[in-house]
Amino acid sequence: MTDLSRRKMLVGAAASAAALGVAATAKAATFGNPDNPAEGAINAKSPTSLDDPGPKNPGLASQFPDTGNPPPTDVNGMAEFWASFNNAPKRIQDGGWARQVTQEDFAISTEISGVNMRLAKNGIRELHWHQQAEWAVMTDGKCRITIIDELGRPQVADVKAGDLWYFPPGLPHSLQGIGPTGAEFVIAFDNGMASEFNTLLLTDWIAHTPPEILSANFGVPADAFKNIPLNNLWIFQGKDPGPLAADQAAVKSPLGPPTFPFVFSLSDLPPVRKTAGGMVQIADSRNFRASSTVAAALVTVKPGGMRELHWHPNADEWQYYISGEGRMTVFDTGPRAITNDFRAGDIGYVKKSLGHYVQNTGNTDLVFMEIFRSDHYAEVSLSDWLTHTPPQMVMEHLNITPDVLAKFPRNRPDIVPV
């Protein structure tokens, strides 16, 4: 079978199908990889090659049509780039819960660690800090954030679904669910090893400082601290914090507020691209000035649409799927190419500069976020590159005709169809 590459088989199949007319469409869709090994069901000629009698979980298998039956263009040998909050263990306390997917759980995810947190009405994520920057997107309800910068300039703000926050490394902060339903959000730390279960907590420090030191530090008798919690709170049920304006007045510093706000409204932004297939909104340090190490794009792909073939030259991409259904193929050297399926609550990861697309495979809008450890969003579009390269060179590479090349989108659509 060594002389029968997948391409020969596929092109041959397509050519004979073309002669037969209507069957051509299905066969043409399998144009594929010219390289060995001859992978894919299309190469499985023996009658029992495709049998799969072993133990299986039908519910789980049905969620992953593209791993159970990969497109013939896939070639294995790539690290897993699918993960999910859906099956991440929840740490539940009075006041809310959190679950996370870190590099320890998801080896490929070296640049970003993800946390999904829910805070009950008035539930508090206790005052804390950590070595990593914290970026977050609100997905439900309302949350009140507090933070102070290294110059002593505080900010208290309320955020709603579609808003972001960015807390620089080491700056102390808190979160509280407010309004009738509290808050849910997803945090991205700019380090794959960061853990929400391993942060520097106010209550831990106070409980592990000698009482006479607390007395000297705060200028009050040591027994003023006799009721401190001996175990940390992490998440706990708080009381209604009252109006935002009152909190803002209470924290006021003569130094004023931070130079750039630590919160930003992403979903209210005008899209940077809008096509028949969907739209892209981008928040990075060029508009969300405080967000110096995380850039984000909110992508909406309509049914039948696709986030076009592209890559990112500056950073790995950490994806968080918010709604809908999609599939992504990641292309690497080798060549290797793997396709996987994504639903709400899932996470995808694409290493820097590896090619990929994301196709809406459902009947509703596919909405997901692309998160990067970078101060700016950057991408290279395949169609943009090929339409701004001397045409003869492109045609000689792909054996295509001028009229085909002339139809390629020239304006970086981001989402197709244009």
Smaller CB distance to Mn ion: residue 13 or 85? Answer: 85
In this structure, the number of other CB atoms found within 10 A of the CB of residue 43 comes to 17
**Which token pair is 387?**
């339409």
Answer for the pair 89, 99: CB distance below 8 angstroms, yes or no: yes
Cβ closest to Mn ion, residue 200 vs residue 276: 200
Determine which one of 39, 308, 370, 379 is catalytic: 370
CB 116 within 8 A of CB 188: no
The residue (of 234 and 288) whose beta carbon lies closer to Mn ion is 234
The rounded distance, in Å, linking the Cα atoms of 127 and 190 is: 20
Q: CB burial class (10 A; 0-12, 13-18, 19+) of residue 362?
A: middle
In the complex, the smallest distance separating the C-beta of residue 298 from Mn ion, rounded to whole angstroms, is 12
Collapsing DSSP to helix, strand or coil, 222 comes out as helix
Q: How far is the CB of 226 from Mn ion (least distance, A)?
A: 29
- Kindly list the residues in this chain that would bind Mn ion in the complex (CB under 5 A): 134, 317
Phi and psi torsions of 310, nearest 5°: -165, 175
- Min CB(45)–Mn ion separation in Å: 37
Question: Which one, 30 or 176, has the nearer CB to Mn ion?
Answer: 176
Integer angstrom CA distances of residue 403 from 176, 178, 326, 385: 58, 58, 31, 17
Task: Using CB positions, name the residue nearest to Mn ion.
Answer: 134
CB nearer to Mn ion: pick between 88 and 415: 415
Cα-based distances in Å from 401 to 18, 178, 185, 208, 393: 18, 60, 49, 73, 12
Residue closer to Mn ion (CB basis): 27 or 307: 307
Q: How far apart are CA 289 and CA 259, in angstroms?
A: 9
* CB 119 to Mn ion: min, Å: 12
Strands (E), 106-162: 113-119, 123-129, 134-148, 154-160
Asked about 370 being catalytic, the answer comes back as yes
DSSP 373-399: SSSS---EEHHHHHTTS-HHHHHHHHT
Which single residue is written with the structure tokens 């639903």? 343
Residue 213, helix vs strand vs coil: helix
Least distance between Mn ion and beta carbon 310 (Å)? 6
Choice between 84 and 319, CB closer to Mn ion: 319
| Distance in Å, CB of 149 to Mn ion, minimum | 15
Whole-number Å distance between alpha carbons of 383 and 360: 19
Least distance between Mn ion and beta carbon 256 (Å): 24
Q: Catalytic site residues?
A: 370
